Structure 1
Amino acid sequence: MRPLVSIVVPSYKTVAYIKETMDSILGQTYENLEVIVSDHSSPDGTWELLQPYAQDPRVQLFEQPRGGGAPANWTAATERATGEFLKLVCGDDTIDPTCVERQVDAMLAAPNAVVCASKRRIVNSHGEVLMASRGLGHLRGEVSGPQAVRAAILAGTNIFGEPGCVLLRREALQATGGWDDRFPYVLDLHTYCNVLQHGSFVAVDEVLAAFRLNASQWTIALSQQQSEQVVGFHHKVAEETPAC
């Protein structure tokens, strides 16, 4: 039977965190899932540390050749997914035990929904909580896709959160061409906004994931380009979404 949920894990140089990430995924209360890990030829031992997880029948491990940065690895992992719903969890983040169950329930209760998100904790490289609850803005329950996009643009930030606290309808993601890296710093937010042109958004008002601030993240290297990319992205979305 095809799993209902695909959890894809792009990893790169996450040897210090990947075990915690994988254990959080495999410890979900929701069990009808597959886990696809794509390691981007990490030189730090991440690939070797992942090997024992291949013994779990839900887990598939792949090694992605170097090149293309994070967008290439996100795409490589996602293209192997088969589930109706898709969650991407970066190799240094974690999801709470009931995260997938709560989000699947929310999506099944809203047949027109293409994106579901919850709040998340922000933690540092040691796992210490820097912010106990972040995300969603004023969004609650099911709202139209354009309404959710407008809320994000007006907030000037990613109110949906990083992929670990988001569940996507995979068919809708495919229909938009997958992860959109034209503005790499807002890769996730840009993609959500594309997908939300195809259906509604559901907000689960609970903290169900943790996002780790890590100095080695690929986004840190883009700091000089961030402002320019965010401005360009906002202009693009304003043109494509009515009343933004």
Structure 2
Amino acid sequence: MVKPLVSIVIPAYNNAEYLDETMRSVLAQTYERIEVIVADHSSTDETLAVMKRYENDPRVTLLSTEAGGGALRNWNRVSQAATGEYLKLVCGDDIIRPELVERQVAALEAAPGSVLAATKRDIVDADGRPFVRGRGLGRLRGRVSGAAAARATVRAGTNIFGEPACVLMRRDALESAGWWDNRFPYLIDVASYVRVMLQGDVVALDESLASFRVSESQWSVRLVRDQASQTIGFNRSLRAERPDVVRRVDLSLGDLRARLMARVRQASYLYLGRRMSRTSTAVAEGS
């Protein structure tokens, strides 16, 4: 068997409702040199039973992670178990398009010295219906320096690279960065990307090749405020560590936009909540 070049890792936790769809999207990749590593983080639902449907697939390795430690423990568990040169983390309720890995591998292979490739994504509701299409990357296109990419996400006041399913990175660069960065828990993804991208260049693909599912747990005012507060905290931390990357003007603009984005995000989630409520009512009335 040819050694996999890409490791797709799935840190699963109480994802029984969606994990099968996620797994099918991962295993449908047109790029063949992949391994898939799934770890159940002591779920209390049927996540483990769903995982076991795939135990006979030679591409799939099933693991378990002890309870505790938050997302960081399971994200590091699956990432450190990966053997591929490139790594993609897919959360247990997200979906990737069949050509995603193939496109991102080609982009990285064509750009020696690049350490991370990112694509746009669609944001979908709990039923998988698109809510926002082609979201992410700001004005980044093609190959850019890691410093420029990091500065762009700071200035945006939000994670312009999207969830981990949108990103393919060099595993050794993530290891050099100290694995996933959980100092700001809501920013575990983008904080880690930044530490990776500061080691090389980034390739931004102007295509929407993944879907991120928004759940009811993301509709609270407190959560949105915490996200904004942690974004500001991360930006200031990065400015203190790398003033050559984040200038004062970048920080000021990023702080302002983080607060504005919190209001936009809350309004969007409220709208989505009402839409889901109307759908549930219509289904109930029609049954």
Please classify the TM superposition score into its range, dividing by the shorter chain length: over 0.9
Shift of 1:197: 1.3
* Matched AA of 1:8: V
Would you say the 8 A contact 1:119–1:206 is kept in 2?
Answer: yes
Moved over 2 A (4+): 219-228
Shift of 1:9: 0.2
1:1-244 residue pairs with structure 2 within 5 A? Answer: 1-216=2-217, 222-223=223-224, 225-241=226-242, 242-244=244-246
Q: How many residues align?
A: 243
Distance 2:187 2:245 in 1: 21
> Which of structures 1 and 2 has the bigger CA Rg?
2
Distance 2:31 2:221 in 1: 33
Distance 1:212 1:221, change over 3 A: farther
Distance 1:224 1:204, change over 3 A: closer
Distance 1:71 1:222, change over 3 A: farther
Shift of 1:21: 0.1
- Cα deviation 1:78-127 (Å, max 9, x = unaligned): 11001000000000001000000000000000111111100000001110
- Cα deviation 1:178-223 (Å, max 9, x = unaligned): 0000011111000011111110000011011000002347x99855
SS at match of 2:35: strand
Distance 1:215 1:66 in 2: 23
* Matched AA of 1:119: K
Distance 1:90 1:178 in 2: 16
Shift of 1:243: 4.3
SS at match of 1:55: coil
Shift of 1:159: 0.7
Ranked by relative contact order (alpha carbons within 8 Å, sequence separation 6 or more), the top structure is: 1
SS at match of 2:198: helix
Shift of 1:158: 0.7
Would you say the 8 A contact 2:157–2:232 is kept in 1?
Answer: no
Q: Quote the sequence identity (%).
A: 52
Distance 1:195 1:103 in 2: 16
Distance 1:221 1:178, change over 3 A: farther
* Matched AA of 2:27: L
Q: Normalized against structure 2, the TM-score is what?
A: 0.82
Shift of 1:138: 0.4
Shift of 1:162: 0.4
CA RMSD of aligned residues (A): 1.5
Distance 2:114 2:10 in 1: 23
SS at match of 1:14: coil
Shift of 1:229: 1.6
SS at match of 2:55: helix
Would you say the 8 A contact 1:185–1:222 is kept in 2?
Answer: no
Distance 1:72 1:138, change over 3 A: same
SS at match of 1:202: strand
Distance 1:199 1:12, change over 3 A: same
* Matched AA of 1:86: L
Shift of 1:34: 0.3
* Matched AA of 1:11: A
Q: 5+ unaligned residues in a row in structure 2: which ranges?
A: 247-287
Distance 1:134 1:223 in 2: 18
Q: Normalized against structure 1, the TM-score is what?
A: 0.96
SS at match of 1:90: coil
* Matched AA of 1:84: E
- Cα deviation 1:128-156 (Å, max 9, x = unaligned): 10001100100000000000001111111
Distance 1:215 1:65 in 2: 26
